[in-house]
Chain A
Amino acid sequence: MTAALRFDPIRLPEKCEQLRKEVRAFLAEEIAAGTFDPHKPNREDTDAPEFSRRVGAKGWLGMTWPKKYGGQERSFLERYVVTEEMRVANAPTRRFFVADRQSGPVLLKYAPEHIKMEILPRICRGEICFAIGMSEPNSGSDLFAAKTRATKADGGYLINGTKIWTSSAHIADYMIAIFRTSPPTKENRRHGLTQFLVKMKQPGIKVNPIGQITGQYEFNEVVFTDFFVPDDHVLGEVDGAWKQATSELAYERSGPERFLETYYVLTELVRAVGPNPDTRSAEGIGRLVAQLHTMRRMSVSVAGMLQAGKEPVVEASIVKDIGTVWEQQLPHRVRDLAAFVEETATNRETLERQLDFAIKTAPKLTIQGGTTEVLRGIIARGLGLR
């Protein structure tokens, strides 16, 4: 038996192509109406609440979830199409993306029924935004070193401590976070953390903005001071978050957002070189397109595995490892080729502005949502080396 991982060549079914047309038409209308400019990934305000509601009204949020929670019971492959079209268009997905991708699925699996009935339909309508509370000032990749305490109180828990690098916390309505409910044991250092649903925008929570090197404002420090979380907001097993955290990783790590974050510079380069590129430009573009195509085929394949009910954690880690390294290098490879673009290219300024932003974005891509080092550790474990 070989250690090699197989990514079966899943094809998107016909109904996906119909859906793709609908998504493209919708996005074209939004662009025409001035909701966003697809050529400007570096806009300052990436929050678009009204757009989020319109996406929800289309039935494109929580697509795979049961209808009783507002979902559409559609396939992961259909969701994939919506996600990649939004990403390629540079649509402002910030408000709903995390909830749709991972917070909703966590609630579906671990939240009590009344909470599912209350929150999931609102995610599907695009009304609410989620943040993820994992990292702390002294624990990033080492998730299980988290120290923010959840102390048992009457009817719930009191939270004290600080989460950090929390994207969208300043606009989020909810956070799904891990807090320490018990100390780790000698046998299992991952023991003692519990997953909670936290309602934001309440006394006891302070959100402090943190500036980023791109000039954008995305992530925050979130300080909890005697913040009360009721018992029914515990998600899953008390002290057992470590058993739950891993299976969601396949959702989080294999999607098209893991290689398309800087894609716009490739499109713009193709526009700049025009229909008759020189050999160097053609070769450079050809390689990048071949690499992009391969990653997309792998990523679609993982969506097919998810649809088949598998938990392709190692496969997803490979997609994210290769995908994020690629999207990190992409602006630099495009810059190499852009050096030879004619001065007369009409989109030269657009390309330069985009490169400027993409180059500043690049360093985060191999850090957010699981660093390259963590991913390679997971892959190594899959190979039986750890």
Chain B
Amino acid sequence: MAESDNIVVETAEKIFADLADPQTINNDKKDSWQAPLWQALSEAGLPLSWVPDDLGGSGASLADGFALLNAAGRFAVAVPLAETMLAGWLLAQARISSPESEMTVVPASPKDRITRDADGALSGRARGVPFAKTAKHFAVLAHGKDGAVIALVDASKARIESGLNVGYDHSDTITLDKVQPITVKPAPKGFDQTTLMLMGGVARSLQIAGALEAMLDISVRYSNERVAFEKKISKFQAVQHNLARLAGESAAALAAATSAADAIANAKSFDDEVYLEAASAKIRCAEAAEKGGAIAHQVHGAIGFTSEHILHRYSLRALAWRDDFGSESHWAVELGKLVARRGADELWPLVASR
């Protein structure tokens, strides 16, 4: 998953560089950059990377898609790329074709549950659904008496209470009240809400890691420009050590996220080892978002706290992404329970399993 040995990532990076320059889009109060960017991403087939050709997508590998999400994190763009990719992936699990539109996944929290009643209608409430407000379709995982199903739902059939997350991106509450889906099929055997949350969590982990890479870069650059006490602040040992810690947090986040992505891309099922990888990635990346983001702000001083500066595009979004598909607190509890259930003498074999 190196940056430039991947045609999907190269394509995406070129589009981001051309149409989503951080300073330009930060200055654009009307967000007029979003439509052209989305169009370019769509024309390149990127939002449906994880959808096979015969279901309307571009059929990229899981690994390429994960690398794409990491690149998207480096640009921290406020378009539903990750969400549409996840929605397409979810639909493809049940061999449902993806429409060419902005999509998101429902639910986006392990606590929310959508149910399917006897006549096939979907009901339930899901909080913190990213970009629900602008999505045309939802990919929904629901539970009925015959088990889990995956459904494509027209977004206009849902009631949406609009909200914003800490990073100023749409994070909405959606309510389905006996909504008939466009298409519905059984989920594959063994696929449940935990599977979806782990996959979503790894997507967010890669985005957080990407945002931390960007924060490290702009912080290093700024420290080499800003002069205080008659020298560049990068020459102060206190600043150097802070940046070294930011580099460590960035590296840890990237290592955890790429390891989990690699585990999923090469796994036959979501077993305990994949669970460890994916849950750990979300926990560790969330911690890095907090620690690393704080350092990036500290290095920038007051200028980084202004809306004119691009830093908050990364720092706040990385913090916001912690909440989606299960917070680090959620996954820590679940991972802790898994470890306890397996027993003390099975902890090391689990950690050393890969």
The interface of chain A, by Cβ under 8 A from chain B, is 2-9, 11-12, 20, 81, 84-85, 88, 266-268, 270-271, 273-277, 279, 281-287, 289-298, 301, 315, 318, 321-322, 373, 375-377, 379-380, 382-386
The interface-forming segment of B23-31, B133-141, B247-255 is B247-255
Report chain A residues within 8 Å CB of B224: 384-385
Structural contact, A7 and B247, CB atoms closer than 8 A: no
Instruction: Report Cα–Cα, A296/B347, bound state, in Å.
Output: 13
Closest 4 CB pairs between A and B? A282-B336, A286-B332, A286-B336, A271-B344
Report chain A residues within 8 Å CB of B190: none
Instruction: Report Cα–Cα, A291/B248, bound state, in Å.
Output: 13
B76: shortest Cβ distance to chain A, in Å? 14
Structural contact, B335 and A290, CB atoms closer than 8 A: yes
Structural contact, B340 and A294, CB atoms closer than 8 A: no
Instruction: Report Cα–Cα, A48/B345, bound state, in Å.
Output: 25
Report chain A residues within 8 Å CB of B336: 277, 281-287, 289
Structural contact, B347 and A293, CB atoms closer than 8 A: no
Structural contact, A385 and B243, CB atoms closer than 8 A: yes
Instruction: Report Cα–Cα, A376/B246, bound state, in Å.
Output: 10
Any chain A CB within 8 A of the CB of B328?
Answer: yes
Instruction: Report Cα–Cα, A279/B329, bound state, in Å.
Output: 10
B35-84 contacts to A, CB under 8 A, are: 74
Any chain A CB within 8 A of the CB of B240?
Answer: yes
Report chain A residues within 8 Å CB of B287: 287, 291
Instruction: Report Cα–Cα, A385/B261, bound state, in Å.
Output: 32
The interface of chain B, by Cβ under 8 A from chain A, is 1-3, 74, 212-214, 216-217, 220, 223-224, 234-235, 237, 239-241, 243-245, 247-248, 250-252, 254-256, 258-259, 261-263, 266, 276-277, 279-281, 283-284, 287, 328-329, 331-337, 339-341, 343-345, 347-348, 351-352, 354
A326: shortest Cβ distance to chain B, in Å? 10
Specify which of B266, B287, B333 lies most central, judged by the most chain A CB atoms within 10 Å of its CB: B333
**Given A3-B216, A4-B216, A380-B241, A289 and B254 touching (CB < 8 A)?**
no
Report chain B residues within 8 Å CB of A290: 256, 279-280, 283-284, 331-332, 335
Instruction: Report Cα–Cα, A291/B252, bound state, in Å.
Output: 9
Instruction: Report Cα–Cα, A289/B241, bound state, in Å.
Output: 26
Structural contact, A7 and B255, CB atoms closer than 8 A: yes
Report chain B residues within 8 Å CB of A293: 256, 276-277, 280, 284, 351
Report chain B residues within 8 Å CB of A3: 216-217, 220, 247
| One of B256, B281, B344 near A267 (C-beta < 8 A) | B344
Structural contact, B258 and A322, CB atoms closer than 8 A: no
B248: shortest Cβ distance to chain A, in Å? 5
| One of A8, A88, A276 near B340 (C-beta < 8 A) | A276
Report chain B residues within 8 Å CB of A291: 280, 283-284, 287
> Known pairs A3-B216, A282-B336. 6 more at Cβ < 8 A?
A2-B213, A3-B247, A285-B340, A286-B337, A290-B331, A384-B224
B246: shortest Cβ distance to chain A, in Å? 9
Structural contact, B217 and A266, CB atoms closer than 8 A: no
Report chain B residues within 8 Å CB of A382: 247
| One of A275, A321, A380 near B341 (C-beta < 8 A) | A275
**Given A2-B216, A11-B354, A380-B241, A270 and B333 touching (CB < 8 A)?**
no
Q: Which residue of B lies closest to A11 (CB)?
A: B354
Report chain A residues within 8 Å CB of B3: 2
Instruction: Report Cα–Cα, A270/B214, bound state, in Å.
Output: 37
Q: Which residue of A lies closest to B215 (CB)?
A: A4
Report chain A residues within 8 Å CB of B223: 385
- A sample of 6 inter-chain contacts (CB < 8 A) reads A3-B220, A4-B212, A286-B283, A292-B351, A293-B277, A375-B244
Report chain A residues within 8 Å CB of B331: 286, 290
Report chain B residues within 8 Å CB of A84: 352
Instruction: Report Cα–Cα, A8/B347, bound state, in Å.
Output: 24
Instruction: Report Cα–Cα, A287/B329, bound state, in Å.
Output: 8
